[in-house]
A and B are shown apart, each in its own frame.
Chain A
Amino acid sequence: MSVEKTLYIDQVTVSFDGFKALNDLTLQIDPGELRCIIGPNGAGKTTMMDVVTGKTKPDSGAVRFGEKLNLLDMDEPEIAQAGIGRKFQKPTVFERLTVFENLELALAGDKSFMKTLFARRTIKQDNRIFEVLEIIGLTQQNQALGGVLAHGQKQWLEIGMLLMQEPQLLLVDEPVAGMTPQEIERTAELLQSLAGEHSVVVVEHDMDFVRSIAKRVTVLDEGHVLAEGNMDQVQNDPRVIEVYLGA
């Protein structure tokens, strides 16, 4: 009966100088699911993304991508190539490359030095870049440097870079921080349209935003799962109210 999950996080513990950032965390993401992860500061949300993308190695536990790939044996480029894309909390785009070039570098494909040295963009790739530029609303600015974009635009560009990678699993850390209400609305639409084809995990503080997109919500506290369910369920969970929502 068990359908293969996209991501398994199994009893993962990460400690920094005695402080347990993740404490026996177990979490699974279904294919095509849009999952929101909330929790107070220091609950381990970003550390969880660091573990999945290979930036941090856990002290114990297992992390698998699908049934077969053991992510703990892989480094960041391998994990990215395997199909996990990440958007950072603080928008990180290449500030001295143009918007177009930012997207170009995110293109899926062979990323070895020799290949990129002689790489030529195909018409198909060009079209894909312009398609994504259209989606993220930066067609006009495609020759502007990443660094001159407004904060919200950088967030969008980074989401665009995720789209170029064509990942199976998207990890999106605080996508709407610093966005205007209209931008937030468009981001919600975009993330919802991505789910289904991709699995999307969103970490976000903005409760209205989470309510508007989430089907399933996981609440983290002190490095482990406190509650899981739909928004109403978790909001009415007395433990959740105590540590987070009630505060």
Chain B
Amino acid sequence: MARQYTLWISARRDSGTGWFLGALALIIVVVPILNLAVPASSTFHISAYGLTLVGKYLCYALLAMSVDLIWGYCGILSLGQAAFFSLGGYAMGMYLMREIGPRGVYGDPILPDFMVFLNYKTLPWFWHGFNHFWFAMIMVAFVPGLLAFVFGWFAFRSRVTGVYLSIITQALTYALMLAFFRNDMGFGGNNGFTDFKDILGFDLHSDRVRVFLLVLTGIVLGASYLVCRMIVSSRAGRVIRAIRDAESRTRFLGYRVESYKLWIFVFSSILAGIAGALYVPQIGIINPSEFSPINSIEVVIWVAVGGRGTLYGAAAGALLVNYAKTYFTSTIPEAWNYALGALFVLVTLFLPRGIIGLVSGRVRKPAKTQGFPVPAEKPEQPVK
């Protein structure tokens, strides 16, 4: 009861929360109506393609939020967040592959097509259990969480921070990409998984199932937002911001900095994994290119463009940049990478608080407590 009350208070105080949840509700109500109820001949009709696109954007918004939680609030710039997204996606993909059953091209009741093609005789041990939906759902959270835990345990304990941490997260996702490209990893090599048929017996190609997945993604995004908001408005959230701004000071107050970083990193990786799991059934394919380093960097750009340290800014940035990407890559594809790079540079130089900063700066008068310059990070002295 008390907790709900605080959530409600923080939502009241923070108008961004209201706008964000309102816009999200609008999307998951209006888009399905425009698809299911509006006739295909109407200009307002949203096609199956449009539906998938919106669903994809919402997954990306969740991924961006997971980056904002660790980067915007805790100062951990992870350039490997797509690794957790992809692992979640692969876990979901494994379930969807098993769900195909004997309907594959080769008709093997147990082995997915690529295994038959690659002369597998039996199912590798790590594929067992993925015929159960519940098991796959646990793995969606468990595998990214475990990787983040092991990685973070070593990295944060050794006090790897700043650009060094970013580089090793980038290396992590790159290493995973190379591993998943190998055919004998048992994850379909460079083709990955595709040709999914259905999920829990429902046809993935029907508009109703697509609409359901889209609405589900929206609800998960909204719920994740509230959980993240709860974390960042708790005292632990204030400790996390304290770590971002003055890590060693926080230690001298008696806080175990590495364990705070670890838990927030693990939680963020699980959110990314869930985003990946929602992404795969809507897009219909997962392959190792999802691990590619550039993907993780793009997420950081979405967050920077939207405005970090707000959660909803990250989601808004993901939606806007991806909409622009869809638009540009279909009209002037060769210009997109330049546009994205320029966008990042311009936002960093002129909009340090992102688009959200621009909007909220106009609403609130720039009080003394808002937007004062952030001091440049000074390197920590090496511990002898």
Contacts and interface: CB of A to CB of B under 8 A. Distances in A.
B241 A117 contact: no
B254 A80 contact: yes
Contacts of A57: 383-384
Nearest to B231: A117
A122 to B, nearest CB: 12
B339 interface: no
Nearest to A87: B252
B235 A117 contact: yes
Given A76-B252, A112-B256, A145-B369, A92 B239 contact: no
B252 A53 contact: yes
A105 B242 contact: yes
A95 B242 CA distance: 8
B238 interface: yes
A94 B249 contact: yes
B383 A117 contact: no
B236 interface: yes
B326 to A, nearest CB: 35
Nearest to B262: A113
Interface stretch (A96-104, A129-137, A176-184, A210-218): A96-104
Interface in A75-120: 75-77, 80-81, 85-86, 88, 92-98, 101, 104-106, 111-113, 116-120
Given A94-B242, A105-B239, A113 B260 contact: yes
Given A88-B249, A96-B245, A111 B254 contact: yes
B255 A94 contact: no
Given A77-B251, A94-B245, A104 B235 contact: yes
A11 interface: no
A148 B67 CA distance: 28
Interface in A110-156: 111-113, 116-120, 143-145, 147-148
A104 to B, nearest CB: 7
Nearest to A92: B249
Interface residues of A, number: 40
A165 B246 contact: no
Contacts of A148: 368-369, 372
A86 B252 contact: yes
A235 interface: no
A145 B384 CA distance: 34
Nearest to B263: A113
Contact of B384 (A14, A104, A117): A14
A120 B254 contact: no
A243 B246 CA distance: 36
B259 A113 contact: yes
B111 interface: no
Nearest to A167: B254
Interface in B217-258: 231, 234-236, 238-239, 241-242, 245-246, 248-257
Interface string B253-276: 111110110010000000000000
A121 B383 CA distance: 35
Contact of A94 (B241, B248, B263, B369): B241
Given A116-B235, A148-B372, A111 B383 contact: no
A56 B235 contact: no
B375 interface: yes
Given A53-B252, A94-B245, A117 B236 contact: yes
Contacts of A116: 234-236, 239
B372 A145 contact: yes
A55 B383 contact: yes
Nearest to A83: B254
B2 interface: yes
A81 B252 contact: no
B69 to A, nearest CB: 14
17 contacts: A56-B383, A76-B248, A77-B254, A77-B256, A94-B241, A94-B246, A105-B235, A105-B238, A105-B250, A105-B255, A111-B239, A112-B256, A113-B239, A116-B234, A116-B236, A117-B235, A148-B368
